[in-house]
A and B are shown apart, each in its own frame.
Chain A
Amino acid sequence: MEDRYDINELLKEKGTFTGIDKSKRKKNKVRSLKYVIDALDIKDGMTISFHHHFRNGDLLADMVLELLDKKGTKNITIFPSSLTTAHDHFGQYIQSGLISRICTSGIRDRLGEDISSGMLDTPVIIRSHGGRARAIESGEEKIDVAFIAVAHSDVNGNANGFEGVSPCGSLGYSMVDMKHADKVVVVSDLITEEITIPFSVPSYNVDYVVKVEKIGIKEKIMSGATRLTTNPKELLIAKRTADIIEALEIIKENFTFQTGTGGSSLAVTRFMRDKMIEKKIVADFALGGITGHIVRLHEEGLVRKLLDVQCFDLDAVFSLKNNIRHFEIDASFYANPENPGCVVNKLDVVVLSALEIDRNFDVNVMTGSDGILRGASGGHCDTAAGSKICIVTSPLVRGRIATVKDKVLNIVTPGSTVDILVTDHGTAVNPLRKDIMALLKEKKIPIVSIDTLVEMAEKIVKKPNPIVYGDKVVGVIEYRDGSIIDLVKQVI
């Protein structure tokens, strides 16, 4: 038998110990933003990523882009988890040639109008939160440099989002980027010698740490209405939704749910709370963007665990820091469709909103009634597909615009994954869900057909003039599995 181990070869290969000079060990990873950008040599064709946990209070994306623009960098892809009003002026970086491609979940306001008018030659790629995680993990999208804004980092990059002067809470979206990006830069306004514990970003994933004067505006992470609504219409919809959830016998020990932000959703949570107390039921977990209202349910002992991919207000941030079962999860764990254990698949019920919904129950959360990009894909199609029951709530009309209509302008979530539509004028059940229909009828919950709702809406606001589209495709909406579910056309 041949000798497998040649010790001489091994010594040659591995080298022999020659001693160690501790003084030569690198002290830390802290550098200036300018140094990092020069050192990383970000150039044509590269992709840089950001997260949107600071929402409207994000300052980092602009800091980075401004430096790159000054350097004369061109043709980069920006790959934020979403874009908010904080990025309203990014059209200037498109015009300067810095940004040539955008992949995001949301795009709105002035930037949405810029893109919809055709400012960017390459269509924006719209992905859901789960779809983004899938694209990164599968290698479909390669991140060259991930910039991660954090609330507190130590000098080596162990970081979290919930300590310090500018907290944003969960870093769920970035936790995918940090594992797969070529280089990871952690940026904060609080950097300490002392180790950060607990950390959401471990230092072994981090290449550089940058200190800036202010990393984000914490007050602006508030998303939509975080106060309980007093709007009677929203309350009406919420009450109906809660009654339906009760009628479908979802509220039982260890049930699981996700309710979003916005007036109706928050109120649904409140009505569900009453029913849980009445029935002495405790939920196993609440998922998603977490709000202070959900936190209170947790602290009252009505929800055992909070699985948090994103904090929607400062109460949630505070809870993430203090409540041990308020647990930070990454976007892949949340919703990556190629991860069979993704937690949206364990949802008993999700309550979602809609900009538009049509006869097929297809939902648009991306473009306004004028066809212009002004929304976000978010976790909408992920949770709709994963949950046992997906309820969409929406007023029948908003102002003079029908929400329930013949055909949505753009599809984000396919109707085959949407089970129930609750409006202020009536509730419709997807004909695919005969089981739900039967149960609600048995419980004497009034149901109308979706066609009836479409007709009611048309009767109130009539048919609008068609939108004048150009030929150019300005956006590609991917379904969570990466297939293309719709195209967004230029609006003239």
Chain B
Amino acid sequence: MEKLRRTMLYVPGNNPAMIKDIYIYQPDSIMFDLEDSISLAEKDSARFLVSEALTNVDYLGIETVVRVNGLDTEFGLADLECIVKAQPDVIRLPKTETSEDISEMEAIIARIELENNIPVGKTKMFAAIESAKGVLNAYSIATSSKRLVGIALGAEDYVTNLRTNRSPEGIELLFARGQILNAARAANISAIDTIYSDIENEEGFRREVEHIKQLGFDGKSIINPRQIDIVHEIYAPKPKEIEYALQVIAAIQQAEKENSGVISLNGKMIDKPIVERAERVLQLAGINDMEQSDGR
């Protein structure tokens, strides 16, 4: 089953106070940032700090993601050389526009893995799409590498590129969201929505999370731990949904026991999509103890 990624929490890579115990907030993924939130003068210190943290702090099994600088900057390669060795679960590439962006970075990651006796392919990748070109190439990006576990929309740069700005309703993002979501689903990887930067506007944030959940996104990049509970609450299935999901799973188990080919519940046939939805509901409810795969 695919890993839960309802919340991917940004933490600036140069903030030791936050980095040392960010796991207490229990997001689904922690994303250490070396890119936009770090000033030029702090790039080195952030890189070393994140590397040390990954090596020394126990993040209690929470997925660790590092957003590195692009390879078109002077920091991108240095970031990879330092960070891949520290073995985060995922490297996140910003401003991805083509599948070549992914291949280029993948080759470097593979080389560093090899040099450091890390099984090649262990480091997963995540791509942020932040431009019109990237959105149009979403499917080829999503299918560009076996390492890729998800793609995310970065809306701030994207709306600038579109010559518009973000509205509360998010009408300007409808196409990008739909495109990225469909690409992710076609490639069977995660789709993560963009950040919501007005931390004080809880109501607006709720509305946006409800919106992207309805669209089908797996979760959202978030910038403050205060946003975690809200996302998890909105993604939490209702008691009735859980009850039904449990009945579905019980019916399958019963059918398996009886070697029965046709499975029905309350007179209705249960087919594959219903089972998948039931499994997803139980996963979101935290009921399923099934082992999660290595990221995919």
Contacts and interface: CB of A to CB of B under 8 A. Distances in A.
Q: Decide whether A and B are members of one complex.
A: yes
A232 B27 CA distance: 13
Nearest to A425: B24
Best-surrounded residue of B24, B25, B226 (most CB of chain A within 10 A) = B24
B25 A232 contact: yes
A305 B154 CA distance: 52
A246 interface: no
A239 B230 CA distance: 13
Contacts of A230: 199-200, 226
A232 B21 contact: no
Interface in B194-212: 199-200
Contacts of B21: 396-397, 424-425, 460
A314 interface: no
Nearest to B20: A460
Nearest to B224: A232
B214 to A, nearest CB: 26
B17 interface: yes
A232 B17 contact: no
Nearest to B226: A232
A103 interface: no
Task: Name the prevailing secondary structure of the B interface residues.
Answer: helix
B20 A232 contact: no
Interface residues of B, number: 11
A396 B226 CA distance: 19
B225 interface: yes
B17 A399 contact: yes
A424 B24 contact: yes
Contacts of B225: 232, 236
A339 to B, nearest CB: 42
Interface string B226-268: 1001000000000000000000000000000000000000000
Contacts of B224: 232
Nearest to B58: A459
A235 B24 contact: no
Nearest to A461: B20
B226 A235 contact: yes
B24 A236 contact: yes
Q: For chain A, which range describes its interface: under 10, 10 to 19, 20 to 34, or 35 or more residues?
A: 10 to 19
Interface string A222-235: 00000000101101
A120 to B, nearest CB: 37
Interface string B111-147: 0000000000000000000000000000000000000
B236 to A, nearest CB: 16
Nearest to B199: A230
Nearest to B228: A232
A460 B23 CA distance: 13
Contacts of B20: 460
Contacts of A397: 21
Contacts of B17: 399
Interface string A206-236: 0000000000000000000000001011011
Interface string A408-429: 0000000000000000110000
Interface string B73-93: 000000000000000000000
B195 to A, nearest CB: 16
Contact of B25 (A236, A399, A460): A236
A337 to B, nearest CB: 37
A397 B24 CA distance: 13
Interface in B19-60: 20-21, 24-25
Contacts of B229: 239
B292 to A, nearest CB: 20
Contacts of B199: 230
Contacts of B24: 233, 236, 424-425
A328 B225 CA distance: 40
A486 B224 CA distance: 42
B22 to A, nearest CB: 10
A399 B17 CA distance: 7
Contacts of A236: 24-25, 225
A474 to B, nearest CB: 32
A263 to B, nearest CB: 13
A396 B20 CA distance: 12
Nearest to B24: A424
Nearest to A423: B24
Interface string B182-203: 0000000000000000011000
A162 B25 CA distance: 43
Interface in A319-346: none
Best-surrounded residue of A230, A236, A399, A460 (most CB of chain B within 10 A) = A236
Interface in A15-48: none
A460 B16 CA distance: 11
A97 B20 CA distance: 49
B141 to A, nearest CB: 33
B109 to A, nearest CB: 30
A323 to B, nearest CB: 30
A397 B21 CA distance: 10
A424 B24 CA distance: 7
Interface string A421-439: 0001100000000000000
Nearest to A456: B21
A233 B20 CA distance: 13
B17 to A, nearest CB: 7
A407 B272 CA distance: 59
A399 B225 CA distance: 18
Nearest to B229: A239
Nearest to B23: A425
B229 to A, nearest CB: 8
Interface string A374-415: 000000000000000000000011010000000000000000
Contacts of A425: 21, 24
A51 to B, nearest CB: 38
A408 to B, nearest CB: 22
Interface string B1-20: 00000000000000001001
A396 B17 CA distance: 12
A424 B17 CA distance: 13
A396 B24 CA distance: 11
Contacts of A424: 21, 24
A193 B226 CA distance: 55
Interface in A232-249: 232-233, 235-236, 239
B21 to A, nearest CB: 7
B57 to A, nearest CB: 8
B30 to A, nearest CB: 14
Contacts of A396: 21
Contacts of A460: 20-21
Best-surrounded residue of B21, B224, B229 (most CB of chain A within 10 A) = B21
Given A230-B226, A424-B21, 10 more contacts: A230-B199, A230-B200, A232-B226, A233-B24, A235-B226, A236-B25, A236-B225, A399-B17, A424-B24, A460-B20
8 contacts: A230-B199, A232-B25, A232-B226, A236-B225, A239-B229, A396-B21, A424-B21, A424-B24
Top 8 nearest A-B pairs by Cβ distance? A232-B225, A424-B24, A232-B226, A425-B24, A460-B20, A235-B226, A232-B224, A236-B24
Interface of B: 17, 20-21, 24-25, 199-200, 224-226, 229
